[in-house]
Amino acid sequence: MDLLSENKIIWEKLNNNLHIEYKDIEKYIFTNEYINAFENNDFFEKKIYNDDLFMYSFEVEEYESEIDYKEVFFQQYLDNDISKTQYLYHENKFIEMMKVLFNTGKTMVFYTLEVPLDKNSPAQNSKDVIKDFDKISSYSNEVVCIDDWEFFKQICYIAAREIDCVLYMFPEIQAVVLNSGLHGYVFSEVPLSNELKNKLSEKLNFKSTW
C-alpha cells in the first residue's frame, strides 16, 4: 500500500472514531528512514518529513531579521529572564492559533507524559492554567477526541510549556500539528484554505514551507 492510500485510511479512521495508534500518525509525518534511525538511536540529518504533505511553520516571536531573533520559551519565565507579562503575551498567540484549529471541527490529541505531572516542575508551576491533572494523565498514550475547548486548552499549555510533546489531529482539514514550545509545524494532506491561513496568520507568524 502506498503512502497516500495509508494517509487516506488514517483520516477515515479518525473521522469514524476508529482505533488508531501513535505509530500511524508518526508514519504520516516522518520518513521511514528517520523513524528507523530514531528507534535505533542513530544520528540522522537527511530528510525527516514526508514530501507528499503540505507543510507550514509557525512561531510567536516578532523580529525584523534573523539577527534580531530571540526565542521565547517557558523556562525563561521560570528563570526570571522574561517577565510574566511578556511570556503570556507570546504564549497567548499560540493558544489563539490552536483555538482557530480547534474550531475547524473534530480535534484529537496524543501525548505520553513521560514524566508524571505531579513530578514535573514546569507542570507544577502551571497549576493556574493546568488544573485537571488526573484527567489529563488518564488520557496519556492514547489517541483521544477532545470536544471541550477549556480542557483542550490545558493540553495546549502542556505542549506550549514543553511539559510534554503533543500531537494534535484535525480530521476535518486533514492536518496534524507538531510543536516544540511556541514553535512548530502544521502538516496537511491538502493545502489549507486561504481563509484558514489568513486566520492563523492573524495570531502569529504562520507561513508555508513548500
In a domain, 22, yes or no: no
The one-character DSSP state at 192 is P
What DSSP string describes 57-105? EEE----SSGGG-----HHHHHTTSS-HHHHHHHHHHHHHHHHHHHTTS
| pLDDT tens, position by position, 22-72 | 888 888 888 888 888 877 767 666 778 888 889 999 999 877 667 777 889
Does residue 2 have a pLDDT over 60? no
In a domain, 81, yes or no: yes
> Which cell goes with 4?
497516500
In a domain, 159, yes or no: yes
In a domain, 74, yes or no: yes
Does residue 1 have a pLDDT over 60? no
In a domain, 181, yes or no: yes
Could you tell me the pTM of the whole model?
0.88
Does residue 170 have a pLDDT over 60? yes
pLDDT at 32: 81
Q: How many domains does the chain have?
A: 1
Does residue 167 have a pLDDT over 50? yes
Q: Give the residue, 200 or 49, on which the prediction is more confident.
A: 200
Contact 54, 191 (CB under 8 A): yes
pLDDT at 97: 96
- The residue assigned the cell 490529541 is 109
> Which cell goes with 169?
489531529
In a domain, 195, yes or no: yes
In a domain, 126, yes or no: yes
